[in-house]
Structure 1
Amino acid sequence: MEVSKKNNVAKIGIVTVSDRASAGVYEDLSGKAIINTLNDYLISKWTEVYEVIPDEQDVIEKTIINMVDKENCCLVITTGGTGPAKRDVTPEATEAVCDRMMPGFGELMRAESLKFVPTAILSRQTAGLRNNSLVLNLPGKPKSIRECLDAVFPAIPYCIDLMDGPYLDCDTEVIQPFRPKKK
């Protein structure tokens, strides 16, 4: 890993998809839960690009595109809009703007969530790649956010490495990222 990559400040997009939170009906706790979790995990410098938007597919698509293409986020994490309700369209928006899908993330998050609630099978969260960025869909409940991130985050720093993104250094007392040993 180049020294310059380790010194880069990572930009991470956090998108809360919620009609009510975007309208100010209630405070966005889910986006804040992502930020708090990332602050627990990461010891490298990072900055957030944070948006609270309604459950509208075109708005979700434009927000992800902006975060990746204009803001240069190496990682975009969404929360909300992954269930079976008619307005839950975050996975469709993610698939529409990604070049390739990464279904293993959703599979692992559902498997982890099933340890806590039988309704985890109703969740449709997924992940995909757009340009050199990973887009990850999380459920909307703060408790579920931490459970899902605890499960999948160990693979995220290496995924970002493989796309020539900034080096995400983690507090190994909190989360153990996996990177293959160099020979």
Structure 2
Amino acid sequence: MKAAILTLSDKGARGERADASGPALVSWLAERGAETVRTAIIPDEAALIEETLRDWTDSGEFDLILTTGGTGVSPRDVTPDATMRVVDRLIPGFGEVMRMRSLQKTPHAMISRAVAGIRGETLIINLPGSPKGAVENLEAVWPAVPHAVEKIQGDTRECASPMVPHPPVK
């Protein structure tokens, strides 16, 4: 799987803060056999986020694009808004699972607006801006990511594994 990571950070884009989330995600993906072929840090500007996501997805180079940062409720948190304007189809389950998993650690998970969706043959997932939060959220949805990418790219194999009979209920 070929991945790209887009870090959204005003301070990071100005060189005032080192990006820790992007490198953490690169390492995490590498441990699972995914190759990160592109990374970038840009400011929290909706038009620039949209342009970058469109360019990256339309290039056909990436199976997966992870964004990190800009998923909260502050005025500069525009990543989900930009992502929704770029994707063809949303996948609500990814955001639901990430919030549910994060809620076990912090009540602030309730204010995450992270989304995931499909553009062309690329899966885009918004992750939090902190390295810990980004990795934890990706871990939460990872069991479905390879399968989702296969399906997005046209795999026609059956999704369900054979049913295993359940023991009778007493």
For 2:84 and 2:39, locate their aligned partners in 1 and report how far apart those are by CA, in whole Å.
21
SS in 1 for 2:4: strand
**Does 2:23 correspond to 1:32?**
yes
Structure 2 equivalent of residue 17 of structure 1: 8
1:1-183 correspondence to structure 2 within 5 Å: 10-42=1-33, 46-164=35-153, 180-181=160-161
For 1:180 and 1:24, locate their aligned partners in 2 and report how far apart those are by CA, in whole Å.
47
> Is there any run of 5+ residues in structure 2 with no aligned partner, and where?
164-170
Looking at CA atoms only, which structure, 1 or 2, has the larger radius of gyration? Answer: 2
For 1:47 and 1:76, locate their aligned partners in 2 and report how far apart those are by CA, in whole Å.
9
Taking only the aligned residue pairs, the percentage that are identical comes to: 43
Conserved in 1, the CA contact under 8 Å of 2:5 and 2:36?
A: no
Farther off after superposition, 63-72 or 19-28: 63-72
Conserved in 1, the CA contact under 8 Å of 2:29 and 2:36?
A: no
What is the TM-score normalised by the length of structure 2? Answer: 0.88
CA distances 1:130-162 after superposition (whole Å, capped 9, x unpaired): 011100000011111121111101100000111
For 1:14 and 1:182, locate their aligned partners in 2 and report how far apart those are by CA, in whole Å.
35
Conserved in 2, the CA contact under 8 Å of 1:126 and 1:136?
A: yes
Q: Report the RMSD for the aligned CA atoms in angstroms.
A: 1.8
Conserved in 1, the CA contact under 8 Å of 2:30 and 2:36?
A: no
Q: Residue 165 and residue 133 in structure 1: after superposition, are their counterparts in 2 closer, same or farther (change >3 A)?
A: farther
SS in 1 for 2:57: helix
How much has 1:72 moved relative to structure 2? 2.2
Number of residue equivalences: 160
> Is there any run of 5+ residues in structure 1 with no aligned partner, and where?
1-9, 167-178
Conserved in 1, the CA contact under 8 Å of 2:70 and 2:128?
A: yes
What is the TM-score normalised by the length of structure 1? Answer: 0.82
